Amino acid sequence: MTRFPPEPNGYLHIGHAKSICLNFGIAQDYPGGICHLRFDDTNPTTEDPEYVQAIQDDVRWLGFDWDGKMFYASDYFHQLYDYAIRLITKGRAYVDSLTADQIREYRGTLTEPGQNSPYRDRSVSENLDLFQRMRAGEFADGTHVLRAKIDMASPNINLRDPVLYRIRHTAHYRTGTTWCIYPAYDYAHPLSDAIEGITHSLCTLEFEDHRPLYDWVVEQAEPPHRPEQIEFARLNITHTVMSKRRLLELVEKKLVVGWDDPRLPTIKGLRRRGYTPEAIRAFCEHIGVAKRDAVVEMQLLEHFIREDLNKGAQRVMAVLRPLKIVIENYPQGQVEELDAINNPEDPSAGTRKVPFSRVLFIEQDDFREDPPKQFFRLAPGREVRLRYAYIIKCVGVTKDPQTGEIIELRCMYDPDTKSGSSKEQRKVKATIHWVSAIHAADAEVRLYNPLLTIDLAKVPPDQDWTTYLNSQSLERITGCRIEPSLKHATPGSRYQFERLGYFCVDPDSSPGTAVFNRTVPLKDPWARIDKSQQPR
Ligand code: ATP
Ligand code: MG
């Protein structure tokens, strides 16, 4: 029996996905295995029902089901209180009345032992009386705490009489004002596991030093069942942020559009960006579970979404930065409906019709007036194939007389080179995508780049990390032209724009203008060649 124990103080991210795949996955791997979804909601100041709902949505979307086993640590407040009474009665816990600062001073350091609090030797009856009065609301926040009585000289600081309960006169989103004392994580977590009968409590490595405390709590409180804590390395990914505190900061300061901003590694952000649950699960499976912290390259996550979409996404043609071309020898007013393959990886996806006419748009990048070596696309006097259509030749370049900017290309097509026809014998070095000008629809395309310019670990501690946010993380391109079959694409649908990458329809789309998020580019061999030729 495992559990996934999120605190409902933010949205889930890809790191949580690793924990979800591990906990739910292990339960699936063993006959009779069960994984609980438990909201670890013992901190009234930061938790919110909005997050409770979003977390359930995300776990389901990732493809997991808790089979009715959804729990809240706040449901155990009574039992946790009773266990505290037991600890006090056994002489294993006491009420301390030092201030938070004094407690810190008395705690000692990694090299020096701590000192006992002057209140450590209060009698059981005095402790019981004070703790009951703490619970009854007689004392102000911070005046008393309940502490475990373990060992102030322990080399493990977590065992130097850790705080078990604090007074907080703050309403909780579920229990309201019933409680004004709240249990600490290190106390509530092992006992919640024990109450639920969890056998394997899988948590991240930073809790390794807390394991002796976990075991102490279970041993001293004597619940009917004994869980075991096992640690694994948390997932870290380059050039992004994962901690909920930082994600919340981005959302609250409006540095991103919300928790579902496609630049964020949140489950909602990845989903809006076009990621599939299958790709995320395959990624988590691949990275595996280890005992040592490591940082995974963002490219690895991208690899898995590319693999998945390559199998399933329909291919379409879209031009992000349009350059008009006029085919001089193609009859005015004529339209041909050409057959285009929907997915070469999946013959059952069939074909669709794409209109071809005299005036088309191609990508500005697919033309160079003065082509460098190894550039095989369109250039004056050169030929390329238009995907699913004909070979064309550029015979002229029309420029704005004032600015010199290219307005359109004049081209000639070779009617004997239609794709799929028996006469299609001639070969050219490049095939480019296009759309028919009068048939194309308008679109906005959003390209995403890494959120941070450097890795978080490299940000100097005295600096505000948000100064390293990448100002180019979002690039909005308007005036894109898309093939007419995309006019009625619904939010969430995913496509491969031929030669450009994978794109997903954003909920910001309106009937006149579709908005597409680039999930991930295709690998672009030319970009590599181009870069390698730049002076170093
Ligand atoms: P964060 O540090 O991002 O704020 P958290 O650990 O405070 O996250 P919780 O809601 O307590 O968030 O996490 C729920 C579960 O998910 C915990 O068991 C935690 O260990 C696990 N988890 C959180 N972040 C990661 C991560 N990056 N990799 C693997 N597991 C994680
Ligand atoms: Mg946590």
Per-residue 3-state assignment (H helix, E strand, C coil) for 192-254 = HHHHHCCCEEEEEHHHHHHHHHHHHHHHHHCCCCCCEEEEECCEEECCCCCCHHHHHHHHHCC
Residue keyed to tokens 């600081």: 157
- The pTM assigned to this predicted structure is 0.93
Q: Please work out whether the CB of residue 234 comes within 6 Å of at least one atom of ligand 1.
A: yes
**Angle 57-61-62 (CA atoms, 0-180°, nearest 5)?**
120
pLDDT category, 535, cuts 50, 70, 90?
very low
Give the residue, out of 16, 72, 242, with the most ligand 1 atoms within 8 A of its beta carbon, to mutate for a pocket test. 16
Closest ligand to C-alpha of residue 204 is 1
Element (H, E) at 410: strand 406-414
Beta strand extents in 62-110 (DSSP E only) = 70-72, 93-96
Q: Known catalytic residue: 7? A: yes
CA of 306 to the centre of ligand 2 (A): 31
Nearest atom in ligand 1 to 202's CA = 18
Element (H, E) at 146: strand 145-148
Is 479:322 a contact under the CB 8 Å cutoff?
A: yes
Q: Is 238 exposed, middle or buried (0-12, 13-18, 19+ CB in 10 A)?
A: middle
Please choose, from the candidates 399, 431, 401, the residue with its C-alpha nearest in 3D space to the C-alpha of residue 323.
Answer: 399
Q: What is the Cβ-side half-sphere exposure of residue 293, based on CA atoms within 13 angstroms?
A: 10
Higher pLDDT, 524 or 191: 191
Angstrom distance (rounded) from CA 165 to CA 179:
11
Please choose, from the candidates 166, 176, 174, 179, the residue with its C-alpha nearest in 3D space to the C-alpha of residue 48.
Answer: 174
Angstrom distance (rounded) from CA 139 to CA 335:
83
Q: Please work out whether the CB of residue 8 comes within 6 Å of at least one atom of ligand 1.
A: no
- Rounded to an integer, the average pLDDT of 215-221 is 98
The distance from CA 207 to its chain's CA centroid, rounded to whole angstroms, is 23
Catalytic residue among 244, 382, 481, 494: 244
Whole-number pLDDT of residue 536: 38
Please choose, from the candidates 78, 46, 75, 83, the residue with its C-alpha nearest in 3D space to the C-alpha of residue 164.
Answer: 83
Q: Please work out whether the CB of residue 244 comes within 6 Å of at least one atom of ligand 1.
A: yes
Q: Known catalytic residue: 291? A: no
Is 145:96 a contact under the CB 8 Å cutoff?
A: yes
Whole-number pLDDT of residue 294: 81
What would the two tokens of residue 115 be?
């000192």
The one-letter code for the residue type at 240 is T
Closest ligand to C-alpha of residue 237 is 1
- Rounded to an integer, the average pLDDT of 117-143 is 98
Number of H-type helices and E-type strands within the chain:
12, 27
Please choose, from the candidates 45, 445, 40, 438, the residue with its C-alpha nearest in 3D space to the C-alpha of residue 273.
Answer: 445
Q: Indicate the DSSP class of residue 124.
A: H
Q: Known catalytic residue: 18? A: no
Q: Please work out whether the CB of residue 18 comes within 6 Å of at least one atom of ligand 1.
A: yes
The four Cα atoms 500, 501, 506, 508 give a dihedral, to 10 degrees, of -20
The share of the chain scoring above pLDDT 90, in percent, equals: 91
Q: Is the pLDDT of residue 132 over 70?
A: yes
Q: Please work out whether the CB of residue 243 comes within 6 Å of at least one atom of ligand 1.
A: yes
286 three-state secondary structure = helix
Whole-number pLDDT of residue 384: 97
Please choose, from the candidates 182, 184, 183, 234, the residue with its C-alpha nearest in 3D space to the C-alpha of residue 208.
Answer: 234
Q: Please work out whether the CB of residue 394 comes within 6 Å of at least one atom of ligand 1.
A: no
Mean pLDDT rounded to a whole number for the chain:
95
- Rounded to an integer, the average pLDDT of 127-152 is 98
pLDDT category, 422, cuts 50, 70, 90?
confident
The one-letter code for the residue type at 454 is I
Q: Is the pLDDT of residue 531 over 70?
A: no
Catalytic residue among 7, 231, 408, 424: 7
Per residue in 385-407, pLDDT tens?
999 999 999 999 999 999 999 99
CA of 235 to the centre of ligand 1 (A): 9
Q: Is the pLDDT of residue 195 over 90?
A: yes
Per residue in 235-283, pLDDT tens?
999 889 999 999 999 999 999 999 999 999 999 999 999 999 999 999 9
**Beta carbons within 10 angstroms of residue 68's beta carbon:** 8
21 three-state secondary structure = helix
Q: Indicate the DSSP class of residue 402.
A: T
Q: Is the pLDDT of residue 529 over 70?
A: no
Complete edge-to-edge strand list for the sheet that includes strand 494-497? 314-316, 494-497, 501-505, 514-521, 441-448, 474-482, 318-319
Catalytic residue among 69, 107, 120, 234: 234
CA of 242 to the centre of ligand 2 (A): 12
What would the two tokens of residue 383 be?
């030929």
Closest ligand to C-alpha of residue 12 is 1
CA of 201 to the centre of ligand 1 (A): 13
Q: Please work out whether the CB of residue 265 comes within 6 Å of at least one atom of ligand 1.
A: no
Please choose, from the candidates 193, 185, 216, 221, the residue with its C-alpha nearest in 3D space to the C-alpha of residue 82.
Answer: 221
Q: Taking the alpha carbons of 229, 72, 7, 164 in that order, is the dihedral positive or negative?
A: negative
Q: Please work out whether the CB of residue 267 comes within 6 Å of at least one atom of ligand 1.
A: no
